[in-house]
Amino acid sequence: MNDRTTMTERKIHISLPSTGEEECEAVRESILSGWVTQGPKVAAFEKLFAEMHQVPHALAVTSCTTGLHLALAGLGVGPGDEVIIPAFTWIATANVVLYCGATPVFVDVDPATNNIDPEDVARKVTERTKAIIPVHLFGLCADMDAIRAVLPDGVHVIEDAACASGASYKGTPAGGLGDVASFSFHPRKSITTGEGGMVTTVHPELAEKMDKMRNHGAEISEEQRHHGPSPWRLPEFNMLGFNYRMTDLQGAMGLVQLGKLEGFIEERQKWAEHYCSELEGLDWLQMPRIPAEGRHAWQAFVTRVDPASAPHTRNDIMAKLNDRGVATRPGTHAVHELGFYRERFGLEPDDFPGAHDCAANTMAIPLHNRMDAEDYAHVVDCLRGLD
């Protein structure tokens, strides 16, 4: 009876950031140092991030969204250009295309992976296609080889790696699978700096251009100016830039978080496998795909409720789990069904049946680094009890 009471009072969040005294100490040090905007901590964060993702260039920015915008601007994407994006993703993947005055071209996703469907990419390519933004949704890398195989030469590949810190595909980490990539450190992702992002690229000239563009287009950085010998020297500005600089407070926090990333993913991997084996018997609940060709970063554990065999509707299941203290969420949005895109481009739900299916039937269940064995047992118990 006692057991039962604690079980019903348990509250399991869909996601919680794992931060502690080390992050506090690092940020404190940064505040007391007197250098609080982009500086030595950001530089150290970028260096470690680049090393861990085996890419030559990493640039910290204010979010994954501004990082994607920077990437498109750096590649010169503008009016008249088409940019291919999946229809099932966070809205930012589409918004950044419009920030550049270019046209987002939606492509359907494969409900087995939640990722962009290369066959539909092939159908949507035109002579105006300038770039594609494959999304590594929930930490599972998109099938980059299959995507490349259907793209004409010269189409830029931009990874939306918001959920993919630490993920890999056929031996290559996310961040080096295209021309440029953007990661997120929003608290909902595996490591966080409050808000924040990281842009990576394999191209040195693009890195140099984006480095300037994130700092108003200035030819020399604040640090160079501050520490240089010529006090009269102001930077030259030869391009339109933005202020997308990360603060050194966030850089300091990010450095500590990054040191924990491997451990976070290993722990998530272990519990993801646990869910898969414990929930195997529920034939109405499909488990996420565990890739053989690389590493899933498990930003989220997203299941699919089969409407034909589930004991209740997906939404009723979510409500019942909520009553027992288990938070769940739909995976993400079918962007073509959101008011702004639906109206502006005259889109119908059926235009992208895979994305529509994903939005209607996916259900993320709790998986993060602030859960213990009893929490996982409770989630499994609640799901089994629904039958």
Ligand X SMILES: *Cc1c(COP(=O)(O)O)cnc(C)c1O
Region binding ligand X by CB under 6 A among candidate stretches 62-70, 72-80, 118-126, 221-229: 62-70
Among the listed residues 45, 88, 90, 301, the single contact to ligand X using CB under 6 A: 90
Instruction: Check residue 114 for interaction with ligand X (CB under 6 A).
Output: no
Q: Considering beta carbons, is residue 64 or 102 the nearer one to ligand X?
A: 64
- Residues in 136-195 at the binding interface with ligand X, rule: CB under 6 A: 160, 162-163, 184, 186
Region binding ligand X by CB under 6 A among candidate stretches 84-92, 119-127, 169-177, 215-223: 84-92
Among the listed residues 135, 151, 213, 383, the single contact to ligand X using CB under 6 A: 135
CA torsion 236-239-243-248 (nearest 10°) is -60
Q: Cβ 363 to ligand X, closest distance in Å?
A: 16
Residue 132 parent element (H or E): strand 129-132
Q: Considering beta carbons, is residue 164 or 256 the nearer one to ligand X?
A: 164
Count the neighbouring beta carbons within 10 Å of the beta carbon of residue 145: 12
Instruction: Check residue 115 for interaction with ligand X (CB under 6 A).
Output: no
189 a catalytic residue: yes
Which is it for the CA torsion 187, 192, 196, 200, positive or negative?
negative
Among the listed residues 93, 129, 201, 303, the single contact to ligand X using CB under 6 A: 93
Instruction: Check residue 244 for interaction with ligand X (CB under 6 A).
Output: no
Which is it for the CA torsion 335, 340, 343, 346, positive or negative?
negative
Region binding ligand X by CB under 6 A among candidate stretches 88-96, 268-276, 340-348, 363-371: 88-96
Q: Considering beta carbons, is residue 15 or 30 the nearer one to ligand X?
A: 15
Instruction: Check residue 113 for interaction with ligand X (CB under 6 A).
Output: no
DSSP assignment of 176-212: SSSSEEEEE-STTSSS--SS-EEEEES-HHHHHHHHH
Please identify which of the residues 130, 189, 209, 212 carries the catalytic annotation.
189
Residue 172 parent element (H or E): strand 172-173
**Phi, psi dihedral angles at 119 (to 5 degrees):** -65, -35
> Distance of CA 382 to CAs 268, 286, 288, 368, Å?
20, 16, 19, 18
> Which residues, 6 or more positions from 153, have their beta carbon under 8 angstroms from its beta carbon?
none
Instruction: Check residue 363 for interaction with ligand X (CB under 6 A).
Output: no
Q: Considering beta carbons, is residue 310 or 365 the nearer one to ligand X?
A: 365
Among the listed residues 15, 30, 65, 247, the single contact to ligand X using CB under 6 A: 65
The tokens for 88 are 């099932």
Q: Considering beta carbons, is residue 118 or 197 the nearer one to ligand X?
A: 197
Which is it for the CA torsion 41, 269, 327, 299, positive or negative?
positive
Taking the CA atoms of the chain, what radius of gyration do you get in angstroms?
22
Instruction: Check residue 355 for interaction with ligand X (CB under 6 A).
Output: no
Q: Which positions lie near ligand X, rule CB under 6 A?
A: 63-65, 89-90, 92-93, 135, 160, 162-163, 184, 186, 197
Which amino acids are annotated catalytic? 189
